[in-house]
A and B are shown apart, each in its own frame.
Chain A
Amino acid sequence: MPSSSPILLATGFAITALLVSPFSLRGNEEGKGASPQFEASQITFFETNIRPVLEQNCLECHSGVKAKTGLQLNSRQGWLRGSDYRKVVDPAAPDKSVLIKAVHQTGEKDIPSMPKDGNKLSEQEITDLTTWIAMGLPWPDEEVEVPDDPTQHWSFQPVAPPEVPANAGHPVDYFIRKAQQNAGVTAAPKADRATLYRRVHFDLLGLPPKFEEQQKFVNDPRPDREAWPALIDHLMASPHYGERWARHWMDVARYSDTKGYEAGGRERRFVYSYTYRDWLIRAFNEDIPYDQFILYQLAAEQLVNWEGKDKHHLAALGFITLSKNGQQELIVDDRLDTTFRGMMALTVACARCHDHKFDPIPTKEYYGLYSVFQNSLKEEQPTIGEPVEGPAYDKYLKELAEKQKVIDDFLEPKLAKIAEEFPDLANRRIQLMAKLERADRRELQNKQRVVDKFVADAKMEPDKALVVVDNENPGQQAVFIRGNPGRRGEIAPRQFLSIASQGEPKKFEKGSGRLEMAQEIANKDNPLTARNIVNRVWMWHFGEGIVRSIDDFGITGEKPDHPELLDWLAHWFVDNGWSIKGLHHLILTSETWQQQSQNENHESNLVADAENRLLWVFPKKRLELEQMRDAILDVSGNLSNEMYGRTVKILEPPYSNRRSVYAFIDRQNLNPVFRNFDFSNPQETSAKRPSTTIPMQALFTMNSDFIQNQAAILAEKAQKQEDGIAYLHKQVFGRTPTESDQILADSFLTAFESDAKGRTRQTNTEWSYGYGHIDKEAGVTFTPLPHWTGERWQIAKEHPLKDDPRSYLYADEGGLHPGFTAKESFIYQWEAPDDMTADISGVVRRSSVNKGNGVRVQIANDKGKVFKDVIMEASRGTLPMDLNGIQIAKGDRIFFIVDPHKNNSSFDSVHWSPQIIDRSGAWPKWGLAEDFSGPATPANAWSAYAHALLNTNRFLFVE
């Protein structure tokens, strides 16, 4: 490898434009990597005679990344590189250059006439161009200087762990303290045991602590140095640990239970995706050494006996197979990207269309790796679970066979017929299938869809792994020029990346080379692999990585904030048998991790380090979607302990009570709630989840049935306790309520109960829907409609109700109908929650104009005041009913009355959606249609209190 020497990078674009390989910088025609020196007169010649010609005739099509055929004539490098297909100039023989022939418009075969649109260049211009080429293409220095040889970038260097002095204490703290001292920043003191217990519990298990267990730790008489490591080991031994940490890796593996978009209703589900998730949970719980963890996920099928005891490892290949569907080259690209971005923090996919702009990854090497995956596309589904037996399974098999037979009966005669036509294809099923008519293929697809759906729905098959196997005769892979599969370049040999190799990159010789590739990734000398995983684990503990660009350790990524620490950790990790649990133990025992989430010196620390890169405070973190949902279930006592198995839907009723890691993840149509809570995008490998705060999150925690159901269950339990409030605080926060908590709770419960008490409203809004009339003496009589259909209120289930003057009464979102007579006038009732000055508006609309005899419309209150009373004649279609600035007192009831008028209710379907606006703005406006709702579930103060606790920052953040 060359030593650090500056090279020139043309427009920051193609490092290897001039070069055979990025690593042979000295071997190129330009000598030591610098451009040749030209005479000032030569540069003048270029500026005067050449550049204007280029500007006018060539550059519109031939410049920048959009250049036609890849030929960029806007830089000297571009001229020398030529097009994607060939060189275009030869300074030794300018006349013979393709480009000169092209502008001569010789019409020779394979020589296009240029410029394509516009006039032919003049003889003088062509002569100048030829002269200029002969000079060696003089061009002024315009290039951007890259200070360092990209191969010397930090992440490509071998891991170089610094020495840690014997008395340095915890190595993590040693490095962090050193950096803090240099910057004049002071760390926060250690957090108390209760805080740490909650923090570590969520961190390792993704679950809230149990109060009693937390107390046991708080009161553990052993000193911290004994009690704390023991706690960490204890928690890591819990099976819930794997459920939490598998999910982290599932983000990397773009885990999904569906393939993506499939046209024509084809089945999208992976039937066995969950076996990969289950494998991950076991792998984390068993602490499979990380190098093995990589090998299994990339090449398990070559490492285990398919029939043996270790066959369950086959499921690890889900890392490859659970990719997004689509065109084959994009499937391959996705697998490559997930592998290298996920396992080596390298954005190799950038080299798909051109040599990587920044990192030393030539396109040819990309396609060498592409070839590995291209030659392992064949999929199989070996059984890894216990065989299923019994009558239910037999029934399933029988049904499956029947469904399969439908396909066979359809397909076989057609294939037989084709085979008659093409006897030499008789035994080559794939070729025969290819000759099916379009309509038949479509029909076959429809029939196949039925079978696939049946299998996926039945959930009867034993566990199977989704594996890939190597092609028996791996094919050669050509470079796709500019990523276009239709444009083939040179053959790319299967081999590892030069940049991550010590010495010559390993050439792959066995099969697709996938196992060899995996071994190179899992190689202890690979400079990126160990750094990548320790950085990710660090991020999962602290919220940010030591390198903040988690999946990009390349030139454009960030540099490590603590390079020595990163290398020390990477080295230590490999040295300690690639143990993830060992790494947890190391990090969690540091004082850096155990410090408080506030720091009394934060003002001065902020000035020095506003982004907390020096970790002078432990960052407070909002619970992730899974942590939040699991915690809600757990504190309510409803979380299922069941592990493994097929997926469940967590956001639709009936709400599953299993842990969120078992959620059905639909890559194509992910329920928006997932991403509202910053869930990773299952379309591609994810680095770090975003951290956003938006009202849609609050709508979910305030209003979703799921959370309110859990709160109700929790409240019911609390009410059975001697001290319900203490119980709730222990359950939800893992601590006893403070005096202030107690006061707040008491006053809330009292006020809520008194407000809710005697509230016999029909609905939970201020509106009720009913009938009655204005009585001169008694004022307005109002009776709520008793029957709710799910969409409308009416008098009874039967509608219209036979032989009853109320028969046609109903109300739905804005629509209504009165009864036969004035006594059964339709009435909306609105009850004021507060004193206010209000404006009322709304339009009454009759659907049957000129029919019937119209209606009488009134607005009144319960104190005998009639604000408005209008007869709406049959001819009238609309009637505005507005009132401005009326005074309303808390508890007042306002009635909106539709009288059938003269006791004739024919054609009296009316639409009326009054709106009430509190002028002070203290209350959001009310609208009949907007607020329309069904029957009230009685508001329960304790449920509301429990639900409130689940909505506090205290519950939703970990400090």
Chain B
Amino acid sequence: MTPSLSSRRQFLQRTGMGMGSLGLSSLLGDLNAGDRSLNPLAPGKTHFPARAKRVIHIFANGGPSQVDSFDYKPALAKYHGKEVPGGGLRTERKTGTLMASPFNFSQHGECGLWASDLFPKVSAMADDLCVINSMYANVPNHEPSLMLMNTGAERTSLVRPSMGSWINYGLGTENENLPGFVSLCPGGVPIVETQNWRSAFLPGAYQGTHIDTKSTTIAKLIPDIKNARMPRDLQRKQLDLIQEMNRQDAEANGVDSNMEARIHSLELAYKMQIEATDAFNVEREPQHIRELYGDTLHGRQMLITRRLIERGVRFVQVWHGAGQPWDSHAEIAKNHGRLGNEADQPIAALLQDLKQRGLLEDTLVIWGGEFGRTPTVELPTPGANAANTKLGRDHNHHGFTMWMAGGGTKGGLQYGKTDEFGFQAVENKMHVHDLHATILYLLGFNHEKLTYRYAGRDFRLTDVHGEVFHDLFA
């Protein structure tokens, strides 16, 4: 299926382009039912029944270390300070000997997941997590790896739509009062910036809306969401005038589907002014829920995430922060420790909260970075990290960990393996393309068939790659 704008033909035949006889109100009803030629965000059809209806992608940008979190490697302690037997792998910078994790590992849940005390509260939900230890990507650099994770094409100069745009193109939105794809990032933007959520050659309606969750002024979150000059009742009067003129013109000159669509979208926009802002106001949550998430920046942004998902936003991407916060080239104990501390409770709260509301069943939660980190210690490079020469880890795309939860994935599963030291994925290796194919499958799409015709080619998120990993499904 290509849920493109091509259903226009059927639409025109069904309703008649001039549709004087049909009248406005019935058409407005129709628009809600969804014609994608007029409303690109109308709900789309899946290829087969979906297990997940929406996605939360928690992006630990910068590259969290797998061997310090969810990929337990006792051999690291044993070989601490020794060379990697047989030699290390290519990384961005020079690394030295193996380094034991400064974090303590223990088993969690009935499934007995080995996880460190970096994420104690998330680990306590081990039986809901589907941990993939065998992820791999192509190169050990942030920019291409971010692009790969978000768009399926690693070169920054290739212009491909982001995963969230693809998913919105496929599924449309359940709530037109809000953008279908929201990217929450506190304090600015990640590296490679807005490319992370662009729609590229897909229509602009599918682009991600970036919201800086550090700002707490609701009106500033979405541009033009409020009218600073017009009281609501007077704005309603104004809108009534506009719509009356539109209606009279339509009667006189024949109705046009694009004009009708605009009439509809004016009404939506009017409602959106309130509905959209409401989603960002976590003060509306009861105290016990706010305490669950914690009164912190990350707690707030995870709570906003749930409010958005609950209101029908299809794809919410939550970034840890601007730039590349998880990029702990130095002092991994201190830096990862701080980041884990920031992220742990809010993420665990999100999972719990989704679960208690029955939302986790059809909401796919994904956690991970663009790659992982080396089990070896990073050696100092003059200029770059000369000041902090100790106990950090370099980028590692050969093997890293991501986890999923809900949305039809199998909880309590630990899937795939890296080598003895957690350097390279060796068993059930899952490439980022495979992850994309698997996510689309959970959403009800055959990744090879969710395509968009552009420049003489049918493009897709997975390009010419991608396998669906059925073992991960409940």
Instruction: List chain A positions with a Cβ less than 8 A from chain B.
Output: 64-66, 260-261, 263, 324-327, 330-331, 334, 337, 341, 347, 349-350, 358-359, 437-439, 442-443, 549, 551-552, 554, 556-557, 597-599, 602-603, 606-607, 610-612, 617, 620, 622, 668-670, 672-679, 681, 683-684, 687, 690-700, 702-705, 708, 740-741, 744, 748, 751-752, 755-756, 759, 761, 764-766, 791, 813-814, 833-834, 843, 845, 877-878, 911, 913, 915, 923-927, 929-930, 932-934, 936-937, 939, 944-945, 947-949, 951-954, 956-957, 959
Contact = CB atoms under 8 A, between A and B. Distances in A.
A741 B244 CA distance: 10
A911 B295 CA distance: 14
Given A611-B12, A696-B179, A603 B18 contact: yes
B51 to A, nearest CB: 26
B219 A933 contact: yes
Given A324-B157, A554-B456, A748-B237, A698 B266 contact: yes
B262 A953 contact: yes
B274 A606 contact: no
A185 to B, nearest CB: 13
Contact of B457 (A347, A681, A936): A347
Contacts of B334: none
10 contacts: A331-B157, A437-B382, A602-B16, A672-B210, A702-B224, A755-B237, A923-B232, A929-B281, A939-B231, A948-B245
Contact of B284 (A337, A358, A606, A915): A915
A813 B381 contact: no
Given A699-B273, A766-B232, A957-B259, A610 B286 contact: no
Contacts of B238: 748, 752, 944-945, 947-948
Interface string B458-470: 0000001100000
Given A439-B384, A684-B159, A748-B237, 8 more contacts: A437-B382, A442-B383, A672-B223, A694-B265, A695-B272, A702-B270, A764-B231, A930-B278
B194 A681 contact: no
Nearest to B229: A937
A953 B457 CA distance: 35
Contacts, number: 304
B20 to A, nearest CB: 9
Given A598-B18, A693-B258, A813-B218, A953 B193 contact: no
Given A598-B18, A924-B274, A702 B193 contact: no
B253 A703 contact: no
A612 B262 CA distance: 21
Contacts of B216: 813
B9 A610 contact: yes
Given A347-B455, A551-B455, A744-B244, A326 B9 contact: no
Given A603-B16, A681-B200, A878-B287, A755 B234 contact: yes
A764 B442 CA distance: 46
Task: Return the 3 tightest CB-CB contacts between A and B, nearest first.
Answer: A326-B157, A675-B204, A439-B383
Contacts of B176: 695
Contacts of B90: none
Given A691-B258, A764-B229, A929 B194 contact: no
B8 A261 contact: no
Contacts of A934: 228
A368 to B, nearest CB: 19
Contacts of B341: none
B200 A764 contact: no
B456 A350 contact: yes
B396 interface: no
Contacts of B217: 791, 813
B284 A703 contact: no
B249 A954 contact: yes
Interface of B: 5, 8-9, 12-13, 16-18, 38-41, 143, 155-159, 176-177, 179, 191-195, 199-201, 203-205, 207, 209-210, 216-219, 222-235, 237-239, 241-242, 244-246, 248-250, 253-254, 256, 258-259, 261-266, 268-275, 277-278, 281, 283-284, 286-287, 381-384, 455-457, 464-465
B150 to A, nearest CB: 13
Nearest to B275: A924
A765 B231 contact: yes
A651 to B, nearest CB: 9
Contacts of B256: 597, 620, 957
A713 to B, nearest CB: 14
A453 to B, nearest CB: 18
A698 B246 CA distance: 14
B209 A672 contact: yes
A697 B258 CA distance: 13
B155 A752 contact: no
Contact of B456 (A557, A791, A925): A557
Contacts of A263: 143, 191
Nearest to B381: A438
A678 B456 contact: no
